[in-house]
Amino acid sequence: MRVLPALLCALVLAGCGGSSNDGTREMDTGTSIASGSTRMTLGVNSYLWHASLDTLSFLPLQSADPFGGVIISEWYVAPTSPDERLKVTIYIMDRSLRADGLKVVVFRQVRAGNAWQDAAPSADTAHKLEDSILTRARELRLATLGQQG
Question: pLDDT tens digits, residue range 33-91?
Answer: 444 545 556 679 999 999 999 999 999 999 999 999 999 999 999 999 999 999 999 99
- 119 forms beta bridges with 108
| CA separation for the pair 54, 99 (Å, rounded) | 17
Question: pLDDT tens digits, residue range 81-119?
Answer: 999 999 999 999 989 999 999 999 999 999 999 999 999
Q: Where are the domains of the chain?
A: 43-148
Would the pTM count as exceeding 0.85?
Answer: no
| CA separation for the pair 8, 132 (Å, rounded) | 23
pLDDT score at 119: 97
Buried b (16+ CB within 10 A) or exposed e, 13-52: bbeebeeeeeeebbbbbeeebeeeeebbbbbbbbbbbbbb
Instruction: Please give the class, per CATH, of domain 43-148.
Output: alpha beta
Give the pLDDT band (50/70/90) at residue 145: confident
